[in-house]
Structure 1
Amino acid sequence: MNALEELPPSWRVTRAVNREPEAPHLATQVIGDQCLADLARPGMRVTIAFTDATRACPDERLVGSLLSELDRCGVAPDHITLICATGLHRPSTPAERIAKLGTAIVSRYRIIDHNALDPGGLVDLGTIDGIPLLINRLCVETDLLLATGVVEPHQYAGYSGGAKTVVIGCGGEATISATHGSAMLDHPGTRLGAIDGNPFQAFVRAGGERAGLRYVVNAILGDTGEPLLIAAGPPALVHDYLVGRARAIYEVPVAQPVHIARAGVDGPKAVNLYQASRAATYLALAERTPLLPGAPILLPAPIPEGAGEGAGERRFFDVLSNAASPQQLLDHLRRTGFPAGAQRAYILAQVLVHHPIIVVGAHHPDVVRACHMHAVPDMAAGFALADRLARATFNLAPNAPLEFLDVPHALLTLPRLTPTG
């Protein structure tokens, strides 16, 4: 899917790639003046929240480092619970647990999937700025709460990581719904790449503190999923440190606006349309996007799970597929609101009113078409369709030059229009 030899000869290519550090710092850097040994004691009950299968987070390494340190502190394995932060996604499978954590961890420790829909498994921690904070009981009723995460561009949080694995990944449906509703998503501060003035990020940080999250280990990943930097310490300090480093890696200048783009999506994000569509929305809705209004977006993604199998994914598909058009859906949802999961339909509809999306190689093309997008079998067909759509939109002659932006890893790259001269 990365080969460009089938491109029409009139397309002029700009390739947006991450600027990875020359020498990745693979040793975990402790941020702040407190290490895990200062917090953990023998006899403590410890809960570790880790990311689910939709996150390409090296949890075997990150969780493993926490478990090794807890062992040195005298915390027994039967006092430790690992909770998979599924949010409103489906539960993890045995194979996914092993892929995430490794056989040694899975066979030795208690592992629980979070259930955002189970009232008995949640604790109500009140509200923060009017938003209800419900967190998994195992996270709250413990002596020490820890979490893993990956710091990468995020549509709402600006950058993921920090306390998000606990506050959203282990949050109740009411918390997820409120933080993913139209009032939050329409706030000018809730933007991809934004931290300061971002109400979503502010809630995540305050919620983590109230829930008692004391210590996290987070990573920045390269294009192939390998960790480039790992940091541990208090959630906000770790997040601030890694966001600063992530900006230099993920935010890439682009010199001219483009008529067509390809948003590459890898690994777990390509498993269903709910996740894969993030690549298109990241590219189109980013601050200073290089996309011209009307530019088609090519989205290569096999989506073997179709729209997705979790409660949130099913809501996404139901809301989007039942809408007469993306614009009608936006108007309707702004009047009525929407449940958690449907926010992905709301965000995607904002893109679809301006940009046709062409999903390439989908195993379920009917799902794609039901969601107001084009489905084509291969990249050659995608290039041909994008060429026709762009020339019609921009009223360009058959051989007139087209500017094409190739973003191989769209979830880890923020192209910024930065004209030179």
Structure 2
Amino acid sequence: YLTTITIDDTTAETGNEIGIFDGDICVGAGVVTGPIGSYLALVAATDDPTTSEKDGFTPGNPIGYRLWDYSAQVEVRNINSIYTSGNALFNSQGTVVLEIHGSSGSALTVRVDSPVPDREVPEDTPDFELADLDSVFSVSPKDSIPEFAIASDTADIAVSLDEFNVVWVSLTENWNGIGHIVLSASLYDTTISDTVLLTVTPVNDPPLSFELISPENGWTGGITALTFSWSASIDPDTGESPVYGFAVSSDSSFAIVDTLINTGTDTTIHIDILAPEKYFWKVYAYSDGDTVWGSHSDKNPWSFRITAVAIESGSPIITTYRLYDNYPNPFNPMTTIRYELPRQSRVILSIYDINGRFVANPVNVTQSAGSYSITWDAGDLGSGVYFYRIQTTAPEEKGSDEFQQVKKMVLIK
């Protein structure tokens, strides 16, 4: 029984409607047809448990009320209920007497109070907090509880909402680009959203890790030449192979480097080593300023030992410096340059274009006597005539012999 009905402190007018609700289900209603007098009687129906549909109230659930302001044509949900008999819980045999006072000025609302600014983060940023939705949105009355929802327009930006209504963002590894994150709050039939533009800027990723293969760490043998090999790395930014650098030294700290060669994109290199000794070797992959060492060989280089070997009858002994013609020639884009040293020497192998401009310096180390070859990759250069020059200087204790020679090669693309 309703003894008093007001909207904004004004007595309800003819045509105003009153609904009784169990949650969002209307279980009873009435219409003001004139002055209320002593009371306005309303009846609420209980749920029929024999049907699958919920068509009435459930005993024990809280009683809710809504008013329809006929003159303003708005629903008023902000209701203050004052019970003079009974309580605010449904009862199948219960009767309550109360006043209801509605306030349209404090109607249920949800709005964006603090829009989330657009964000820019670098690629591979760890999971980060984007926003606290309780601070982004506000509701009225304040004790109303909105429903939050979040969504991203790309699978590379994953969003999640924790128990404290904080939005977290996770990025796909090595992904960069632009995406939109939509934050929404709903209160009954009202939904409002805030869209955040997230820009993920690219960063230069180092080449992927790779492993040294052969000769195995600690290998010992009585041969004068070895083929070194390692697994391939990839530049994750381009999907292409990086450039490799190969180094051999009889000093584990590499304070003195016997051989240092840029192998291009090749993952193998053949080296002639005549002197019986223990050696160390390591390989790095280089791309756009980033370096990765195979098998962490920068800190733990692999070792091998060449034992004393007899020179077979008929085997040539190197007695002079020699620079061979490159092969193939013409070439595209890779060619092999071979040379021989009769004694330990400082070797500088340089490449110039037809105008005499310096192009590359694939070898600049001290090497033991022996036969050497390097593979040069001219993939970034244009077609034309190029020259390669070798310069050697023997250690002072063995004289000041010097050797230099220039040869021509042709790149055809």
Of Structure 1 and Structure 2, which has the larger fraction of its residues in strand?
Answer: 2
TM-score normalized by the length of structure 1? 0.22
Structure exhibiting the larger radius of gyration computed from Cα positions: 2
TM-score normalized by the length of structure 2? 0.22
